[in-house]
Structure 1
Amino acid sequence: MLFNSPDFIIFFIFVVSVVVIFKYRKFQHLFLLVASYFFFYYTSNYLIILLIFSTLLDFYAGREIWKSQNITRKKIIFSISLAGNLGLLGFFKYADFGISQINAVGSSLGYESIPFLNLALPIGISFYTFQTISYTADIYRGKLEPSKTLREFALFVAFFPQLVAGPIVRAKDFLPQLREKMENFGTNRLSLISIHDRNLKLGITIMAFGFLKKMFFADNIAPMVNTIFQDPIGASTFEIWLGAIGFAFQIYGDFSGYSDIAIGAALILGFKIPINFNKPYFATSPSDFWRRWHISLSSWLRDYLYIPLGGNKKSSGRTYFNLIAVMFLGGLWHGASWNFVVWGLLHGLYLTVHKLILNKFPILKNNSFFKSKIGKIVSISVTQYFVFLAWIPFRVRDVDSMMYSIEKYVLIDLQFSEIADVILSHKLPVLFLSLFIILHFISYRKENMIDRISKFSIKYWVIVLTIIALMITFTYSINSQDFIYFKF
């Protein structure tokens, strides 16, 4: 059962509330585990079996890798773990995509088409398989001791706030927090949280802004993006720009909104999850963008793909190949479709060209111009021009529509007489987009804005939350959308 966005959020809040109100200290992590499986079952039904399979596979693989003194045996067990996880991910996510490619080649040679499997995509599978892979990889590298109990590891894999759409959490960050909590909980009494509790106030504030990003901004920008890219052929350059920028902020509000909800919920429950977004549209270079966007994925790709491939420690040519290969796989991770591959390859090209320029002209690395205000504006503008360009293939799957949109975006042909008409035809989404850009700018200029709001006195804090709730209430039912990353 996959909820639409409002239903999912209501159910999510319900589960968090039940865990907070009815948690007994001695049995807290058991109660969290039951709640996590309950949550996953009601979003995926029988596909919970896959989650359990990954949990059992990597728990026992991790223990055997740690105990073994034979390097060959370690490699075999680690390979089994990788094959199990990637096989699971590949079969359910990419089987029909592979069949479609085989059919395309086969039809040209006169062969009959292979029927599609039409498998349901298990929600969250791209996230929890990467979490369990990082667990066994860290044990194999000697950087992490295996989990002490199956129950402890199962909670790490299934922890419900970030289970279905990230952030991707690593065992080395989560398990020590869980163990510390259990060591400090020596009684069986009910654990109550005061409204003055720092984690509760901050967690609720983070969640509130996550809801605001998703339900107030992203969902109300979506209709404009859908209209423009539903059939973009014939659209003007300005319309394509508006659609690209609109989708850039839609997906940012949608995905970072969910990440904020997950981070806030985890904090309320006493766990700190690393941030997943850090003002990405103020990045000054392609590499800076990936230090700010989907941080848990980009750092995972760096540590478990880019560095094992050799990173930048080998020749320049090998470094460029590594960048493109990693971003190709990063694009494919997002979905079984060539448009995601194009998106990933574009970002691989951006990273490669950026590194090539810096290698050819090392004086640019610490050039004073790029540290000046004007230099930063230029760097941000150029970077975001290409980032927004890459969002077009991410959003538009039809090849002809994609190529037309990219051509219009790149070959600038602005008809200023049409700009006012385009804006008026999308006046409400443009208003939401403009407000969101302003909020993004304010958050860039005002560091720790959410943290400051969480420190308000109860009176003013409640007023802020009430305003956010009213903003959402009056708009969310109009254009409610499913979370974009539930599809990945």
Structure 2
Amino acid sequence: MLFVESQFVLLFLPLIFFLHESLRKLTSQVWFLIGASLLFYGAWNPWLLILLSGSICLNYLISLGITGGRNRLLFIAGLAMNLLPLAYFKYSGLIAQSAGLPFSAGFFGEALGSLLPLGISFFTFQQIAYLADVHTKRVLPPSFDRYALFISFFPQLIAGPIVHHAQFVPQIRPERERSTLLLVGLFLFTIGFLKKTQIADHLAAVVDPLYALETHTFTSSLKATLGYTFQLYFDFSGYSDMALGLAAIFGFRLPQNFNSPYKARSITDFWRRWHMTLSNWLRDYVYIPLGGNRHGAARTYLNLMLTMLIGGLWHGAAWTFVLWGGLHGLFLAVERLAKSAFPSISLGLLAPIVTFVIVSLLWVLFRAENFETALAVYRGFLSFDVPKFDLDLALIAAAGAICLFPNSNQFAARVETWADARKFHLDARRIATRMAVYWSVSFAAAVTLVVSFYTSRLDIPAYAIVANDDGNGSVDNKDGDFRSNFFSKRIFRYPGPKVFIVGSSFSGGMGSFEFTHDGQVFRSTSVGIGGNGFLNSLRSANAILDVPGVDTVFISASPLNFGITTTSAAFADECIRPLAGVISGLEPARLKDCEPTPLEASEFLGILMMKPSKPQYIQFQNFAYELLHAYDRKPYKFDVIDLDNPQRLQNISAELSRIASTDDPPNDLTNGADDKFAWSERQISESLRLDGEVATALRQLRERADARGVRLIAYDTPTVSNHDAPHIYPIGFHERYKRSMEVLMADVGIPYLDLSGILPWRADAMLDFIHPMPAIRKNVHEILLFEAFTDAPAIEASSEWKQ
């Protein structure tokens, strides 16, 4: 369970807070928080509670033994007891791989990587520091319940900060700051939540595909480096803010972990601001015990290097982390040497810039999976291209600008001062009672509004075509064709076998069915996003593979879904973010792909003419204008059209549909083949190369489907792919497309169904320029089911489970 998960925010936190504030005695509150923390930790993997509970109990017993006089041997045994599980779970794979052992990729690799206990690095370091202080008689063991809460306290358990016992245990007292801290805690948690979900996660969508590239340009290296620099900060500091906020809600102050690190004027200053609790721990329990700066310059530099190498290894079990830590140690040593040799020289205003550049470049090693990936990013800086300011760079620049503002702890201090100055008072028990009633509803409403606001401004909106059909082929379109296909059907929660049809808006209106096959009741539905490109369909299918009970997944591979997207590649400015995880609640695995901005299905040609400034729309705008002009139809006055009105846009595309379907094409518009409208048709192989290595992504998708026992089938849809729709494609295009797709799908091992010719092109059967009536699309759904399940007729889903 993580802080940003809905079950934590909407259920666990308000419930635990309410019950905690209902308890009067301190001992009851302490044991309750211990139990709640173990529940929080066990929600991830209950078996690892044995590791955490055993570690707490054994460390406490050892501390009692050390206090009783059996000092040195018990302390060494305690160190070994803490370090061995950390080495086993976290570093066995690295050790075995480095030693060239044959099982390094088996049990010691993937198995242990998947079992790495959350927070083991944090609670191991906290307990080592505690034993060290007991060993040196700087502290006496507290009562067991207070020690157990100090280690297990859920706000700091999985992602820090690394809390020192002297900072926490004395706060366990009957009278704690409650009113002001509660306000500060809510403020910090909210800020941290927004930093993680609204900044870091969106930056990750930019950064992750870049680190999957094998070669880089200057622009991609710049985006990868700066993007990750800010992603890591907002991710880690966001979790730290949430931890500090949660602790404050329960009346505890945790140490600050970040203090505007990208404002640092040197690497030394950076480590005083970045992950401050780790820096303090390394200083107190590694650097100083090694001798610190007490044994001459050479020994000081060696101690710095060893400390930072350990710090790098603490962050991750890979040699890239070790090198990252070693280079930081080298820069610390060089800074110390330069300061002693040239004490009067200063970089002045350049100091923070130089420091930021060094830190950012070193983050490449921290993020890269291996040295080859890091070198590819570094080599990209040696190429020359002028960075084009697009939405990705705008997001990165905005994140960088936010780093220049006062940090969250500085704002929180002002909130606390404001509350104290006004004698601000919050009754924690009364608030707890109200939170139990209102928290979930209000937070859910706020999240819904945020998601709606965000998705409504994306190039691919979170809508599906689910038109109302009265059974006679007519469509009630007064609200447009936009109704959510993900939230209206309960197939995701159906315990039996499932079939999904994935594609664009065409797939979104194919209905839902229930049928029997081999004695099992199947439910089948379509999942479509308006304007979906082929590669985004891959992401959707990739996410759906993780839905329990999936038997078969159909994925659309029509020219509209694939060909038009690739045609516009030369004009695309950016890559589309995956939406499958946002809409369905599932996190899609990262595929090495990238696609240009696709067309939005319901708007199609209409919106293209309304947005002539976008270069990727120019050729389509020209075509639509020439088409209307050829039939002596004047274009609409698009400057007065509401862009958010689906009905108006439907009218435009329906008008174009009637024009193109009922009249003979004029002589001067030869199927889009003249010089006024050039499709820039390319071979499919060239499209694959330019549009994100589709074949590689398809193979990954097929391999994931095979591993899950899911049947994957590609299909072409009877829409503008039809041979009878020459007003869309150049003559002969579809035949070449079909042959290329058959070769591609055979190469990646996915069956391919060509349904493009099963229905004739008729204007009265069309909803708009590209979409047949829903009744026709339901027929296509049934045909797909008959192709895959030949022994069972499909029946349309009843309203009981469809709605």
User: What corresponds to 1:143 in structure 2?
Assistant: 138
Q: Is the 8 A contact 2:224 2:377 kept in 1?
A: no
Q: Distance in 1 between matches of 2:19 and 2:90?
A: 32
Aligned residue among 146, 150, 165 for 1:152: 146
1:390-429 to structure 2, matched below 5 A, reads: 390-409=362-381, 411=382, 413-416=383-386, 419-420=387-388, 423-424=389-390, 427=391, 429=392
User: What corresponds to 1:35 in structure 2?
Assistant: 36
1:133-212 to structure 2, matched below 5 A, reads: 133-147=128-142, 149-178=143-172, 181-182=173-174, 184=175, 197-212=179-194
When you count helix as a share of all residues, which structure comes out higher?
1
Residues 1:269 and 2:250 aligned together: yes
Q: Distance in 2 between matches of 1:475 and 1:14?
A: 26
Aligned residue among 414, 419, 430 for 1:452: 414
Deviations along 1:111-150, one digit per CA (max 9) or x if unpaired, are x878534221011100001111110111112211111x21
Q: Distance in 1 between matches of 2:230 and 2:171?
A: 33
Q: Specify the code of the residue in structure 2 equivalent to 1:389.
A: L
User: What corresponds to 2:56 in structure 1?
Assistant: 55
User: What corresponds to 1:100 in structure 2?
Assistant: 97
Q: Secondary structure at the match of 2:259?
A: coil
Deviations along 1:376-435, one digit per CA (max 9) or x if unpaired, are x311000010100111011111322211212334x4x4422xx11xx43xx1x4333333
Q: Specify the code of the residue in structure 1 equivalent to 2:368.
A: V
User: What corresponds to 1:385 in structure 2?
Assistant: 357
Deviations along 1:72-123, one digit per CA (max 9) or x if unpaired, are x4111110100000011111111122121222xx67xxxx878534221011
Q: Distance in 2 between matches of 1:23 and 1:198?
A: 20
Q: Specify the code of the residue in structure 2 equivalent to 1:452.
A: R
C-alpha displacement at 1:152, in angstroms? 1.4
CA RMSD in angstroms comes to 2.9
User: What corresponds to 1:116 in structure 2?
Assistant: 107
Q: Distance in 1 between matches of 2:3 and 2:150?
A: 26
Q: Specify the code of the residue in structure 1 equivalent to 2:375.
A: M
Q: Label 1:255 to 1:481 Cα distance change in 2 as closer, same or farther (>3 A).
A: farther
Deviations along 1:418-460, one digit per CA (max 9) or x if unpaired, are x11xx43xx1x4333333222221216x9822333564899xx
Q: Secondary structure at the match of 1:386?
A: helix
C-alpha displacement at 1:62, in angstroms? 1.2
C-alpha displacement at 1:284, in angstroms? 0.5
Aligned residue among 80, 83, 97 for 2:80: 83
Q: Label 1:296 to 1:19 Cα distance change in 2 as closer, same or farther (>3 A).
A: farther
Q: Give the stretch that moved more between structures: 241-250 or 17-26.
A: 17-26
Q: Specify the code of the residue in structure 2 equivalent to 1:67.
A: G
Aligned residue among 342, 345, 366 for 2:326: 345
Q: Label 1:344 to 1:264 Cα distance change in 2 as closer, same or farther (>3 A).
A: same
Q: Distance in 2 between matches of 1:4 and 1:210?
A: 10
Q: Distance in 2 between matches of 1:326 and 1:38?
A: 35
User: What corresponds to 1:437 in structure 2?
Assistant: 400
Q: Distance in 2 between matches of 1:43 and 1:277?
A: 27
Q: Label 1:156 to 1:472 Cα distance change in 2 as closer, same or farther (>3 A).
A: farther
TM-score normalized with structure 2 length: 0.51
User: What corresponds to 1:23 in structure 2?
Assistant: 23
Q: Give the stretch that moved more between structures: 342-351 or 262-271.
A: 342-351
Q: Distance in 1 between matches of 2:451 and 2:207?
A: 20
C-alpha displacement at 1:57, in angstroms? 1.7
Q: Specify the code of the residue in structure 2 equivalent to 1:383.
A: T
Q: Label 1:237 to 1:12 Cα distance change in 2 as closer, same or farther (>3 A).
A: farther
TM-score normalized with structure 1 length: 0.82
User: What corresponds to 2:199 in structure 1?
Assistant: 217
Q: Give the stretch that moved more between structures: 446-455 or 219-228.
A: 446-455
Deviations along 1:27-65, one digit per CA (max 9) or x if unpaired, are 111111111111111123111111112111211111121
User: What corresponds to 1:6 in structure 2?
Assistant: 5
Aligned residue among 326, 333, 341 for 1:360: 341
Q: Distance in 2 between matches of 1:161 and 1:309?
A: 32
State the identity %: 35
User: What corresponds to 2:309 in structure 1?
Assistant: 328
Residues 1:67 and 2:68 aligned together: yes
Q: Specify the code of the residue in structure 1 equivalent to 2:161.
A: P
Q: Specify the code of the residue in structure 2 equivalent to 1:116.
A: F
* Structure (1 or 2) with the larger CA radius of gyration: 2
Deviations along 1:225-245, one digit per CA (max 9) or x if unpaired, are 0121111x3311232122111
Aligned residue among 294, 298, 301 for 1:313: 294
Q: Label 1:357 to 1:8 Cα distance change in 2 as closer, same or farther (>3 A).
A: farther
Q: Label 1:316 to 1:473 Cα distance change in 2 as closer, same or farther (>3 A).
A: farther
Q: Is the 8 A contact 1:16 1:265 kept in 2?
A: no
Q: Specify the code of the residue in structure 1 equivalent to 2:148.
A: A
When you count strand as a share of all residues, which structure comes out higher?
2
Q: Label 1:407 to 1:313 Cα distance change in 2 as closer, same or farther (>3 A).
A: farther
Q: Label 1:94 to 1:18 Cα distance change in 2 as closer, same or farther (>3 A).
A: farther
Q: Specify the code of the residue in structure 2 equivalent to 1:220.
A: H
Q: Is the 8 A contact 1:225 1:247 kept in 2?
A: yes
User: What corresponds to 1:188 in structure 2?
Assistant: none
Q: Specify the code of the residue in structure 2 equivalent to 1:432.
A: L
Q: Distance in 2 between matches of 1:34 and 1:163?
A: 13
Aligned residue among 126, 132, 138 for 2:121: 126
Q: Specify the code of the residue in structure 1 equivalent to 2:401.
A: I
Q: Is the 8 A contact 1:19 1:32 kept in 2?
A: no
Q: Secondary structure at the match of 1:307?
A: helix
Q: Is the 8 A contact 2:195 2:238 kept in 1?
A: yes
Return the structure number with greater relative CO, CA threshold 8 A, min gap 6.
1
Q: Distance in 2 between matches of 1:274 and 1:4?
A: 18
Q: Give the stretch that moved more between structures: 23-32 or 152-161.
A: 23-32
Q: Is the 8 A contact 2:216 2:376 kept in 1?
A: no
Q: Is the 8 A contact 2:185 2:247 kept in 1?
A: yes
User: What corresponds to 1:485 in structure 2?
Assistant: none
